[in-house]
Amino acid sequence: MALSAKLQLRQSQTLTMTPQLMQSIRLLQFTHAELERFIEEEVEKNPLLERPGAQADEEPRREPQPADVSAAAGLDRLFDEAGASAALMSERLDSSMENVFPDDPGTVERLGPDLAAQWKSAAGSGGGGRAEDFDIDTLAAAGATLADHVGEQIAFSFRDAGERLIARELADALDEAGYLRADPAEIAQRLGCGEDAVLAVLAACRRFDPPGLFARDLAECLALQLQARDRFDPAMRAMVTRLDLVARRDFAQLRRLCGVGDDDLLDMMAEIRRLDPRPGAAFTGGTADAIVPDVIVRRAADGGWAVELNPDALPRVLVNQSYFARVSKHAASQDEKDFLAACMHNAGWLTRSLDQRARTILKVASEIVRRQDAFLLHGVRHLRPLNLKDVAEAIGMHESTVSRVTANKYMMTPRGAFELRRFFSVAIAAVEGGDAHSSAAVRDRIRELIETEKPHAVLSDDAIVDILRKSGVDIARRTVAKYREGMDIPSSVQRRREKRARACARP
């Protein structure tokens, strides 16, 4: 059989992800804050894009009013007077530093930021900016970090330079929670000093605010906070050393260990719960973006639901066609023409993508409201099982598109603001083939059963399973245990111990 070369033609279709298509997909999952930042970047790069409400390129000049004319004339006379020396002008303008800082006439050094320069920069160069455009938040000081907070206390607590050096080394070893993650012996060896000196500085640092800083473990952190409250008595010391018994709510062993009664034991445990296990975490929080609902749901006049997009969450951009036409006439080279054409193409793509994003969010939200009508009327007990595939098939979209739309999007309803993902829940089968129940409704039912149980009749997981099955929910015991642990509810044994202790403590 002879081998020979052949030329064949094949026709096929493939989907190519262009950069703009990928960017359009990204726009779907952007939050409101992320979308605003993205649009600001695009407006800065593209001269054909502008935000509604921005000043026009050629703003008509305001004719001066009579008061303005008189004021301007007065300034002109002041500066035009013959022989107006610098001393005379200073006297008339009252610009002496003694008048600004009467208590410190010799201070000429600028001790703070030039707020006037920042005001002018924010308002616009040349005085053309408007006062209402200035945002005072731009001058707000940044929040103090844990290092700044501890550093200020070190500066006021230690006069000796060597002690301050040791204290700063200890402060550098703090983690985000405020715990010391270094061995004092290693610090002493690194600094070339005695370990006793490091321990003495460490003892002083442990009196810093907030109490609990520089602790090496949880028990030590709680002990420092109790010492600051003057509540670290022998009974509390014994409880802090056995936090494992506190977590298990083993009241019998805790009573023997601490030597107190049930009422004192409950008060001690309540005080332990009020302490902060992460005293340094208060200085690590960043600025959180405010939640802006993307969709607003209201009751309609016909008894249904009116679903509309939140206008505050719809960033708008305009394409300046007149500017494009004016600049295109003066484009000399081909590079300039290509640049303007690319800017116009990107601007049109962005406006179409934002419109498509808004219509997709509205379509998905309307389908969610249609399926979860009972939840909006009666609450979480009536939340129906729902998954992404059901919504995608109903609106004719891909499941991945619905997943991107529901990520980090919020809906304002008469029952409050909810993330769109909150309306999706796993289905739990019903007894004898009835309607399935949502996992969120089942969790709420488990929480209610445990909150209403009596001290002498604490419900076990098996008992909860039997109650739920009688109400038509077919659920396994391990599922009940998983939901209970997810809601941070202790086991029946621990709840029984706590309820009995509280009952004994009552007069």
Give the domains, in start order, of the chain with CATH numbers: 146-283 (no CATH), 295-423 (no CATH), 427-505 (1.10.10)
What is the rounded distance in angstroms from the CA atom of residue 299 to the CA atom of residue 308?
A: 11
Within 379-472, residue ranges assigned H as helices are 388-395, 399-406, 439-451, 461-470
Report how far residue 185's alpha carbon sits from residue 187's, in angstroms, rounded to the nearest whole number: 5
For residue 180, what are the β-bridge partners? 174
- What integer pLDDT is reported at residue 36 of this predicted model? 87
* Torsions phi, psi for 410 (to 5 deg): -125, 150
Q: What 3-state DSSP class applies to 488?
A: coil
* Amino acid occupying residue 129: G
Identify whether the C-beta of residue 213 lies closer than 8 Å to the C-beta of residue 206.
yes
Does an H or E element contain 87, and which?
helix 86-93
What does the pLDDT read at residue 459?
87
Q: Give the total residue count for the chain.
A: 507
Secondary structure class of 15 (helix, strand, coil): coil
Per-residue pLDDT, 15: 63
User: Residue 386 pairs with which residues in a beta bridge?
Assistant: 425
Among 353, 344, 328, 334, CA closest to 46? 344
What's the rounded Cα separation, in Å, for the pair 69 and 211? 63
The per-residue pLDDT for 95 is 43
How many Å apart are CA 417 and CA 415, to the nearest integer?
7
Please report the pLDDT score of residue 129 as a whole number. 46
Q: How many CB atoms lie within 10 A of CB 354?
A: 18
330 three-state secondary structure: coil
**Residue in the block written with tokens 């977590």:** 247
Instruction: State the burial class of residue 171 (Cβ atoms within 10 Å of its Cβ: 0-12, 13-18, 19+).
Output: buried
**Whole-number pLDDT of residue 473:** 86
| Cis status, amide bond into 293, omega within 30 of 0 | no
Tell me how crowded residue 257 is: count the other CB atoms within 10 A of its CB: 16
Distance CA 124, CA 268 (A): 60
Angle between the N-to-C axes of helices 262-273 and 492-505, in degrees from 0 to 180, rounded to the nearest 10: 120
Question: Exposed, middle or buried by CB within 10 Å (0-12, 13-18, 19+), for 254?
Answer: buried
Q: What does pTM read for this prediction?
A: 0.58
62: Cβ contacts below 8 Å, ≥ 6 apart? none
Residues 6+ apart with CB under 8 A from 419: 406, 408, 409, 410, 411
Distance separating alpha carbons of residues 489 and 496, to the nearest angstrom: 12
Tokens of 252: 């019998």
Per-residue pLDDT of 394-405, as tens digits, reads 999 888 888 988
- Residue of 51, 24, 32, 41 lying closest to 357 (CA atoms): 24
Residue pair 360/401 in contact (Cβ under 8 Å)? The answer is: yes
pLDDT at 494: 79
pLDDT at 68: 43
The pLDDT assigned to 308 comes to 92
Full pLDDT tens readout for the chain, 507 residues: 567 788 888 888 776 666 667 777 788 888 888 888 888 988 888 888 888 765 444 444 444 444 444 444 443 444 444 444 444 444 444 444 444 334 444 444 444 444 444 434 444 444 444 544 545 554 445 567 888 888 889 988 898 888 989 999 999 989 888 999 888 889 888 888 888 999 999 999 999 988 999 999 999 999 999 999 888 888 889 988 888 888 877 888 888 888 888 778 888 888 888 898 988 888 865 555 677 889 999 988 888 899 999 888 888 888 888 888 888 888 778 888 888 888 888 888 888 888 888 999 999 999 999 999 888 888 888 888 888 998 999 999 888 888 988 888 899 998 888 889 888 888 887 776 667 888 888 888 898 888 888 877 888 888 898 888 888 888 888 988 888 888 888 888 878 877 776 666 555
